[in-house]
Structure 1
Amino acid sequence: MTTDTTWTGLNLSVLDRYLCHTYPWRELKGARRFIVEFLYFGIKEARACLFAGLFFVSIFLVPRDGVLGLPRYDVLLVIAVSIQVFMIWSRLETLDEAKAILLFHLVGFALEVFKTSGSIQSWSYPDFAYSKVLGVPLFSGFMYAAVGSYIIQAWRLLDVRIRHHPSYWMATLIGLAIYANFFTHHYIGDYRWYIAACAIGLYARATVIYRPYDRDRRMPLLVAFVLIGFFVWLAENISTFFGIWRYPNQLGAWSAVHIGKWSSWSLLVIMTFTIVAHLKHIKSRIYVPD
């Protein structure tokens, strides 16, 4: 799988063009090369996290009582939408990428509605908001969209390619099983570890090839899934600490999110990656070079 101009668009920001196409120090070796590649990788990762970073910073800054009479959840929704509009306007994000992020928002929001429903109540959003639908504030879908935004942006900025990607129909089945298990485990048991075992077998040979600077580097794709899942788990701890939502065991006093949620987020990352990979695959098949 490769990145194509139809997907990324031709209008990239000045920073993106510099990061992806400018290599002022090509003949570096040893420690100097490591430092430069490490810095470029960090900058590209930070750039890929732009939406997620700005959104979660707003979680810290918006007071619980809201702003100018507008409840906190509604303020967060306005901020999330504003960030998306800015990224499209500034060409940091293409319309194709925005459409994909909207898909992640809808998928995440549907899960939120189910998980917070009266018969389930895995967690809750205790504060009032005008933008609540079925008891869930609309901004919540952007938390899932943030993960999708990161993967999409990192894919382009790091020129990601996947070697030994499994068959798309098999990856789709795993992705659907992961998503379905978030719903069905309340009724027929939690099969996440069986699904995880299948995913490990499916992606065991898959390698992500990425370019932090001017040379390709490699990493087992499963390691990437686990690492991203870990950082999402950290973000979840921060969000619950600030009372954005609460798990039942956090209603009296805050406690760390159970470490088992790390596995859930890693599986969700696999599902999100599957959607992005499909979109990339479809675009690469449609696009015909000049």
Structure 2
Amino acid sequence: MVHSDPLCQPLVVRVQQWTIVRALKQLIRFGWEQTLSCVFPVVIFASLALTKLAPLPLLPRYDWLLVICLFMQWWMVRSGLETRDELKVITLFHAIGLVLELFKVHIGSWSYPEEGYTKLFGVPLYSGFMYASVASYLCQAWRRLKVELVQWPPFWMVVPLASAIYLNFFTHHYWVDVRWWLSVLVMLVFWRSWVIYEVGGVRYRMPLVLSFLLIGFFIWIAENIATFFGAWQYPNQAKAWSLVHVGKVSSWCLLVIVSFLIVATLKQVKGRYLHNEQSL
């Protein structure tokens, strides 16, 4: 019977302890970078809770939420927490989200029952910032974690796929819902794609499809928090709040994919532009 050297055992224990401590430090660093990237979404959720628990004077709740979102965006750019290019991306997502909101409220998918001066066809203008907050997170995390994409599909595949996913949010009310076919197509197109990110000087990588699923799941959790505080209301929540159906995770995953594809495409276009400028 072979016995291990007792002198080596303390060294092994120290190595294991060092590995665990190092992993915890990296996890804390990663969590901190994620927290900083979520500043705008956190402010939105905090505002939802504050205005729900302690109504503010002078303006209806939806109008206060719009004022808070606009002020927060101004402060983030002013303080350098957000770049002007990132503000442009967020504005684009606000418009994309607002169009989707106008359609969904019109057909009765959900509603905004409270009063407000800044409502357009039943949709408060602050609602576009709910989508813009996803773009804000992606832009912030991309910059802070020094994200790089590996095996990114060609432009001619990415743009039609993102367009088809977005259009399906509208067309599935009048035609067959192809979200699952689109999900399969996403897995096929991005099966070999990876996202590389940096934490504390160490590079990590994750399958891109897995990142879509994780972000979509956490947005679903955020959606439950938002509906609890009355950000919007599904028909089954009219009398009392209830958990958002888990099937909505698929919708959020597809929305995250659209958001990610738009941000990634814009960053690649900008990167090529800067490269061409430097080559001149």
TM-score, normalized by length of structure 1? 0.87
Partner in structure 1 of residue 180 of structure 2 = 193
Partner in structure 1 of residue 194 of structure 2 = 207
Within the candidate set 249, 256, 263, 1:269 is matched to 256
Partner in structure 2 of residue 184 of structure 1 = 171
Partner in structure 2 of residue 243 of structure 1 = 230
CA deviation vs aligned residue, 1:125-144 (integer Å, no higher than 9, x gap): 00000000121000000000
Within the candidate set 65, 75, 90, 1:76 is matched to 65
Within the candidate set 35, 38, 55, 1:49 is matched to 38
Letter in 2 for 1:271: V
CA deviation vs aligned residue, 1:212-240 (integer Å, no higher than 9, x gap): 11110011111111111011111111111
Partner in structure 2 of residue 24 of structure 1 = none
The separation in 1 between residues aligned to 2:54 and 2:95, in whole angstroms, is 27
The separation in 2 between residues aligned to 1:270 and 1:123, in whole angstroms, is 22
Contact 2:194 2:208 survives alignment (8 Å): yes
Give the number of the structure whose alpha-carbon radius of gyration is greater.
2
Residue 126 (structure 2) pairs with residue 139 (structure 1): yes
Partner in structure 2 of residue 17 of structure 1 = none
Q: How many pairs are equivalent?
A: 261
Displacement of 1:63 after TM fit? 3.0
The separation in 1 between residues aligned to 2:230 and 2:141, in whole angstroms, is 29
**Hey, which bits of structure 1, 4+ residues long, moved more than 6 A?**
none
Superposed counterparts of 1:214-229, under 5 Å: 214-229=201-216
Letter in 2 for 1:174: L
Letter in 1 for 2:233: R
Contact 2:40 2:136 survives alignment (8 Å): yes
Identity of aligned residues (%): 49
Partner in structure 2 of residue 11 of structure 1 = none
Structure 1: gaps of 5 or more residues: 1-27
Q: Report the RMSD for the aligned CA atoms in angstroms.
A: 1.4
Letter in 2 for 1:129: G
TM-score, normalized by length of structure 2? 0.90
The separation in 1 between residues aligned to 2:222 and 2:108, in whole angstroms, is 21
Structure 2: gaps of 5 or more residues: 1-16
Displacement of 1:173 after TM fit? 1.1
Could you say which structure has the greater relative contact order, defined with CA pairs below 8 angstroms and 6 or more residues apart? Answer: 1
SS in 2 for 1:63: helix
Contact 2:52 2:230 survives alignment (8 Å): no
Partner in structure 2 of residue 61 of structure 1 = 50
The separation in 1 between residues aligned to 2:104 and 2:122, in whole angstroms, is 11
Partner in structure 2 of residue 107 of structure 1 = 96
